[in-house]
Structure 1
Amino acid sequence: MRLAIVGVGKLGLALLTGVTSRGVMPPGEIGLLDANVLRAGDLADQTGARVIGPPDLRHAERILVSVQPRVFPEISDWLAQENAGYISTMAGVSTGTIARRLGTKRVVRVMPNLAATIGHSQTAITCPREAENAGDLDFARQLFGAVGDVYDLPEHLFNAFTGMSASGPAYAAVVAEALADGGVRMGLPRALAHELAAKLLVASGELLQGRVHPGLLKDEVASPGGTTIAGLEVLEAAGVRGAFMRAVVAATRRGADLGKDQE
């Protein structure tokens, strides 16, 4: 078994789908372990992976830990395997904490986001030298490269990455919802407003990638004395820019708190 996935939620399923559909790994080399055995069984039937139990982890070359941080202390005893490497997606939990609980420094820490479910994740990755030397880092890069872009990042920036990128789809969803509500307020049908808002965010992301700074796109759209600058004035008066900055700060600090709970 080349990979055991412990915790097959949305992220685990996205990774499973990504690596198998892109030929990174045959599904028969992947084991699925989840508290919801029926769900794991359904996913195994759909993908060709197989359901395993805690005793089977001794056969795994590497173990992906994709559970909530609060669950980790409860399962760390049977997670610990003498010869396995580990990949963790747990928010806020440092490689040092994981290494101490599992008794190995072969730990790669990653932080993807929900866009992994559509192959467009942004994933931060880091590890101690022991994991790099054992090939665990390259293995994790291959896994998460199958569902998006991978960024090498110092561990002290992981909580900031989490607060911005991993939490970012929720912030973008709030923007889309607010824009759609504004359209409805001015008479657009709800379904159309939702469709326009979603497509607007996708198109804006594409436009932003071709520019050095987001402000350039804003300036291109906002003509003198026009409709856009009138709307931007309202956003500035409402403190929208500062609110998003404070959201990233709050999410970053929460990630740090989650880590402290596991120390």
Structure 2
Amino acid sequence: MFQPDTATAARQPTRWQDYVVAQDWAHFTAQEHDVWDLLFARQVPYLGTRIVAPFLAGIPLLGLDGPGIPELGALNARLTPLSGWTLVPVAGIVPDAAFFAILAERMFPIGNFIRGADSLDYLEEPDCFHDIFGHVPMLSSPAIGRLMQAIGKLGVKAIAAGHGDTIARLYWYSVEFGLAREGGEVKILGAGLASSFGEAHVAIEADLPRPRFTLTDAARTPYRNDIFQPLYFVSDSLEGVAAELEALDLAGLKALAAPL
């Protein structure tokens, strides 16, 4: 569960284990399971022709097309053999340092709550629908799994070296709110778009800037986490942006953070 805030992260403990809680799947009400089903039922038809192929492939592989909020134990039983990733429940937003440390361990944090029926289109604080539906289908791909672990390891080093804002921007404009070309079309890549009915439409259909993704431009472009994005970077391909981010080291990250 990622919502970058480097200043806040610096004031909080960074041991990732301190943020792991029980999912307590039994506490979800019938109404909350209905919210999941409603979100899933309206999101999948829209994304069908507008999102990168590995996302769609991951849904049946992981059994995410079943009813109700997934139980993480059962989901891990499918996910871990595919890519080596494990999902861990958390109670809310995880600070940057702990978040990247979790990724470095080949784990992904999942909120143990879901939005209310009055917040279907947009939620400022990521919930389990964002975390599971938005991120987990992509984690079934070994290539994406390698990329996410590489970002985690680099993020830990970047924050320790004072470059947390740079790695956060790269993550934000690719994994969370990125677009990518696939089959000659611009498609959704980021989990923040995949899990947001309102912003998925905006990213694909609205008259907004969609510049080509480069590490330099993404690393030097500020963002806000409380509104729809004013622009969306478009990678040349999913494979290309994955290779670029996986190959990036701390020296390269520091160079991206240098003034123009």
More helix by share: 1
TM-score (norm: length of structure 1): 0.27
- Indicate the structure whose relative CO is greater, using CA pairs within 8 Å and at least 6 residues apart: 2
TM-score (norm: length of structure 2): 0.27
